[in-house]
A and B are shown apart, each in its own frame.
Chain A
């Protein structure tokens, strides 16, 4: 047992730190630091810089741009990126559809999709959830019916994050309505969002922003070659994908950074002297430390490729802490948080204080998506505790 990084890992960390803080444009990193919404262009630009340096999709197989890193190195990469306020590569591409195609796709699909997916030339959307299929995802009703060498898709997906930017959408569709178990009749299909019959409609969220959409499919014709893996095996691929999604959504580094910034804001506003505020900071820092160390135990251990059981703690606690930090930021902003709808010219209130409450409200989503925290507890109870 030993706490220090090996000389090799320490050098690796230095290399990452240097890259992220010198190669990604300052204005993009500033936007992340001030919790402003990034434009599509910012996200694309940043991912392309990472990709050019082989840093966008290290988790993929080496053949397709992945890196032969240890789990600890991948963790260091992820943390340093967040610490430097570099936008994380688009999850739909880098940690969802990419690994699925790389693992289960045909050679032709890999060649066609993986390079532009890594480089964000294709922006992917995730078409899993439906109005009546949320936590109970397997009850989804969007159908794909085979006609010649095409699939004809009908139905509705919802909560499609950034679907307004989407070029392609990976969908779970029902291909066998008569399967004995509903999980068995589902396939994983790649759909070009410019196809006739695809309609994207915005959903406004409580923070006033537009980040999710409904996506409707009306007799959308999809080449048979766009089905990933085997027909009716889509549920297995989805489980594989969700496993990756859950590990990716514990943004420890980002939460630590916001908490550190919040301390500066609190100091400048004179509220850090309040012992109750200071105590809340200390409490959150300690919880985050425990979470980070749990993440480190997980990555340091999972050398045999199997996820450490404690990894399910990460999403559950990671989102709770992310939300708690955003709540503290609202408290530090205090009455200034009411200036949320003002532009910079209309208000003397600092940027960070104006976005404090919208960010807090927006982050309520973190415990709902990617497997709600109730679902996470179920995983812990069932698969770890055997209950």
Chain B
């Protein structure tokens, strides 16, 4: 057993950290990047591509680096630490992950190659208005007409849907089940908008829009579920990066802000609160690292279980830390000019994109009778 990163992984972390630190270490740069569409910085996106980050999890034949969940997790954590707005999770891990899992060899080469090179942004259009976090689709339906497929209905919110060059779309199949399709967004109607954390989402409307089945077509519910679970685990790492930043910002604020003639860390009522934030963060880190290791070789069921457990713990931690970070800063924590509140905003968005704590708790509660104890070691 070993929870340490090897040298190669540390080197990857260092280079991603250096790149993103240079781009967004000054929070003002991040504010500038999210102020204008597409909500991230094209040159940073390209630099991530040059580093190999945008093809990290894809097989070398698909134009990727063939790396695993640990490498993905390192990148996600660094993205979270500086709140980099580039859509690593949405595009590389989730949308790219689906193409890698379900696409034909030609589709992988056609979609993942340009994605890895930073030439193309891919988005997964899956969430539906009024829907929650199910791996299935109902509001968008697929019909086959002669030799092709067409989609109808509305997807919203679609993270980075307005900027996307290629859409991976889930749709209810005529035969039942949920299929996956590749769609040229030119055949859709899109209205994009900003999310409260500065990222972007869109409503995408399909009306008889031409679509190509991803891979051999058929019911892809299980594929979608596993891709979502892998993304959830990576998102937990992104949240860890964000929470570490918030804890660091809070402790340094407590040691510098003076009231009543002394720095705030004079008040144990506050330092103990920071200590509790640390406890939350480390518990979340343990479960998240564990989930990542499970996801390397685990079965889909094991990955689902680990993703739910890590997400639940991270939900608790991110609410606790996100709320306390603002509170312990006082008024300054509420301002747009100061970074800390944006992290809380992002943690809230991240959780509600992929499934909130209560959703995961429900999943875990529904099978509580299936086991005696939970044993982390296989």
| 0/1 string, A119-135, CB within 8 A of B gives 1 | 00000000001001011
* Shortest Cβ gap from B367 to chain A (Å): 14
Indicate which residue in B132, B154, B196, B342 contacts A271 across the interface (CB closer than 8 Å): B132
Residues B335 and A368 in contact, CB atoms below 8 Å apart: no
Given A327-B319, A338-B195, does the pair A203, B203 have CB atoms closer than 8 Å? no
Given A208-B336, A334-B133, A335-B352, does the pair A159, B195 have CB atoms closer than 8 Å? no
The residue of chain B having its C-beta at the shortest distance from the C-beta of A133 within the complex is: B259
Indicate which residue in B132, B154, B258, B327 contacts A334 across the interface (CB closer than 8 Å): B132
- Set of chain A residues within 8 Å of B361, measured between Cβ atoms: 276
Residues A335 and B133 in contact, CB atoms below 8 Å apart: yes
| 0/1 string, B188-228, CB within 8 A of A gives 1 | 00011111100001010000000000000000000000000
- Set of chain A residues within 8 Å of B341, measured between Cβ atoms: 205-206, 361, 364
Residues B358 and A365 in contact, CB atoms below 8 Å apart: no
Residues B331 and A369 in contact, CB atoms below 8 Å apart: yes
Cα A338 to Cα B155 with chains together (Å): 13
Residues A339 and B191 in contact, CB atoms below 8 Å apart: no
Residues B191 and A203 in contact, CB atoms below 8 Å apart: no
Indicate which residue in B191, B259, B344 contacts A342 across the interface (CB closer than 8 Å): B191
B369 at the interface (CB under 8 A from A): no
* Shortest Cβ gap from B297 to chain A (Å): 30
Residues A360 and B348 in contact, CB atoms below 8 Å apart: yes
Residues A159 and B331 in contact, CB atoms below 8 Å apart: yes
Residues A348 and B129 in contact, CB atoms below 8 Å apart: yes
Residues A129 and B348 in contact, CB atoms below 8 Å apart: no
Residues A341 and B358 in contact, CB atoms below 8 Å apart: no
| 0/1 string, B284-321, CB within 8 A of A gives 1 | 00000000000000000000000000000000000100
Cα A158 to Cα B344 with chains together (Å): 23
Q: List residues of A (349-367) whose CB comes within 8 Å of B's CBs.
A: 349, 357-358, 360-361, 364-365, 367
Count A-B pairs with CB separation below 8 Å.
152
* Shortest Cβ gap from B167 to chain A (Å): 17
* Shortest Cβ gap from B308 to chain A (Å): 13
A204 at the interface (CB under 8 A from B): yes
B334 at the interface (CB under 8 A from A): yes
- Set of chain A residues within 8 Å of B269, measured between Cβ atoms: 374, 377
Residues B327 and A364 in contact, CB atoms below 8 Å apart: yes
A337 at the interface (CB under 8 A from B): yes
- Set of chain B residues within 8 Å of A343, measured between Cβ atoms: 193
Indicate which residue in B203, B259, B334, B352 contacts A337 across the interface (CB closer than 8 Å): B352
- Set of chain B residues within 8 Å of A337, measured between Cβ atoms: 348-349, 352
* Shortest Cβ gap from B56 to chain A (Å): 25
- Set of chain A residues within 8 Å of B156, measured between Cβ atoms: 336, 339, 347-349
* Shortest Cβ gap from A154 to chain B (Å): 22
| 0/1 string, B218-254, CB within 8 A of A gives 1 | 0000000000000000000000000000000000000
* Shortest Cβ gap from B368 to chain A (Å): 13
B260 at the interface (CB under 8 A from A): yes
Q: List residues of A (256-277) whose CB comes within 8 Å of B's CBs.
A: 269, 271, 274, 276-277
B270 at the interface (CB under 8 A from A): yes
Cα A193 to Cα B359 with chains together (Å): 51
Indicate which residue in A135, A331, A342 contacts B330 across the interface (CB closer than 8 Å): A135
Size class of the A contact interface (CB-based, 8 Å):
35 or more
Cα A316 to Cα B195 with chains together (Å): 31
Cα A303 to Cα B43 with chains together (Å): 68
| 0/1 string, B141-180, CB within 8 A of A gives 1 | 0000000000000101101000000000000000000000
The residue of chain A having its C-beta at the shortest distance from the C-beta of B323 within the complex is: A364
A372 at the interface (CB under 8 A from B): yes
A34 at the interface (CB under 8 A from B): no
The residue of chain A having its C-beta at the shortest distance from the C-beta of B331 within the complex is: A159
Q: List residues of B (252-282) whose CB comes within 8 Å of A's CBs.
A: 258-261, 267, 269-270
Residues B330 and A372 in contact, CB atoms below 8 Å apart: yes
Residues B358 and A336 in contact, CB atoms below 8 Å apart: no
Cα A76 to Cα B239 with chains together (Å): 45
Indicate which residue in A136, A323, A347, A364 contacts B344 across the interface (CB closer than 8 Å): A364
- Set of chain A residues within 8 Å of B261, measured between Cβ atoms: 136, 139
Cα A338 to Cα B337 with chains together (Å): 21
Q: List residues of B (337-357) whose CB comes within 8 Å of A's CBs.
A: 337, 341-342, 344-345, 348-349, 352-353, 356
Given A364-B323, A367-B327, does the pair A335, B157 have CB atoms closer than 8 Å? yes
B130 at the interface (CB under 8 A from A): yes
The residue of chain B having its C-beta at the shortest distance from the C-beta of A362 within the complex is: B334
B127 at the interface (CB under 8 A from A): yes
* Shortest Cβ gap from B357 to chain A (Å): 8
Which one of A139, A203, A338, A349 has the highest number of Cβ atoms from chain B below 10 Å of its Cβ? A338
Contacts A335-B157, A339-B156 supplied; 14 other A-B pairs, CB < 8 Å: A203-B336, A204-B336, A206-B341, A207-B196, A271-B132, A276-B358, A335-B353, A337-B348, A347-B191, A348-B154, A360-B348, A361-B196, A364-B333, A368-B334
Q: Identify 10 residue pairs between A and B in the complex whose beta-carbon atoms are under 8 Å apart, listed by A's number.
A: A134-B331, A205-B341, A206-B334, A206-B345, A331-B356, A338-B159, A342-B201, A343-B193, A358-B196, A364-B333
Ordered nearest first, which 6 A-B pairs have the shortest CB separation? Answer: A206-B341, A341-B194, A204-B336, A342-B193, A136-B259, A346-B191
